[in-house]
């Protein structure tokens, strides 16, 4: 199967890695060469780490990287069987991409979005002549490790498209779950508001970020505390999801905490910027990331 991944950021690169590991030829596309080069570097570093731990041979690393192509030209997706969209969480950008791809891709191509909160049905509607070929496949960060994929149907999605995508996710070594479209799907509808509440506890001075995480790890059985998880996801993503939940439901329990907005405005987005609730350039933060 020829796979094309749009978006070479951390998530796009790791999803590309998942497809490579399963034996697919993958083209990773972004808008600038430096973006695709950075994405390829992320994948290469992951493979080099596995080689250093004896979990992958150097020959296997070279073989996998040889199956990867990078591009800045959307037309290089013209022969793709499966397209995975992992670009910024902006509906206008996603629609622009889909409308363009609709003109160049063959009739059998399946379009999938990794969106964590935007409407799958609205995206499908922008390719009306093949909206039945559109589906959501929401991976979790870090995608090369996390097993879950939420396979989300638009109202237009055909049974054939759903089953093909569901089986494909399983063939990648993932555990797919069937989800109907709804704000935040399953995990984010539960998880992101919990992170929001944890931020409120910190803002109210009830406990420090480290103590909040320890309390939830030991008291609620969480492997990773809510604030480190929020840092890992990225506060820009967290804010976008909370705003979507609030807009779609009108429920005040989904109103983003002011501290979340402040951190985004400050550029303290979490692991990807080196600073969030924890300093990831310091020894404590590095130990968290290592774990």
Return the active site residues: 116, 138, 150, 188
| Residue 71, beta-bridge partner list | 29
Q: Give the H/E segment covering residue 92.
A: helix 91-104
CA-nearest of 120, 163, 169 to 146 is 169
Retrieve residue 208's tokens: 């420090």
Give residues with Cβ within 8 angstroms of 53, minimum separation 6: none
Round to whole Å and give the CA distance between 238 and 226.
12
Only one residue has tokens 């034996």, namely 23
Rg (CA), the chain: 19
- In angstroms, the CA 179 to CA 167 distance is 14
């Amino acid at each position: 199967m020829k796979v094309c991944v749009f978006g070479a950021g951390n998530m796009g690169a790791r999803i590309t890695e998942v497809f490579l590991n399963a034996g697919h030829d993958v083209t990773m596309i972004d808008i600038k060469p430096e973006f695709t080069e950075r994405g390829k570097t992320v994948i290469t570093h992951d493979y080099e780490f596995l080689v250093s731990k004896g979990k992958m041979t150097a020959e296997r690393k070279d073989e996998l990287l040889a199956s990867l192509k990078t591009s800045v030209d959307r037309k290089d997706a013209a022969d793709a069987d499966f397209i995975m969209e992992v670009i910024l969480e902006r509906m206008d950008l996603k629609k622009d991409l889909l409308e363009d791809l609709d003109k160049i891709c063959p009739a059998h191509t399946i379009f999938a979005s990794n969106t964590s909160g935007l409407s799958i049905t609205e995206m499908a509607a922008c390719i009306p002549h093949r909206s039945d070929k559109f589906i959501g496949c929401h991976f979790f960060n870090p995608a090369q490790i996390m097993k879950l994929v939420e396979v989300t149907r638009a109202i237009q999605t055909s049974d054939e498209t759903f089953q093909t995508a569901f089986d494909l996710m399983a063939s990648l070594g993932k555990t797919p779950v069937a989800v109907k479209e709804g704000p935040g799907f399953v995990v984010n509808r539960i998880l992101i508001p919990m992170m929001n509440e944890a931020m409120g506890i910190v803002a109210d001075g009830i406990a420090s970020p480290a103590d909040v995480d320890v309390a939830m790890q030991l008291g609620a059985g969480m492997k990773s505390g809510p604030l480190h998880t929020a840092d890992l996801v990225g506060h820009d993503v967290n804010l976008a999801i909370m705003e979507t939940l609030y807009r779609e439901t009108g429920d005040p329990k989904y109103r983003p905490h002011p501290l979340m907005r402040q951190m985004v405005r400050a550029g303290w987005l979490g692991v990807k910027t080196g600073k969030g609730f924890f300093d990831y350039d310091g020894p404590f933060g590095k130990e968290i990331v290592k774990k």
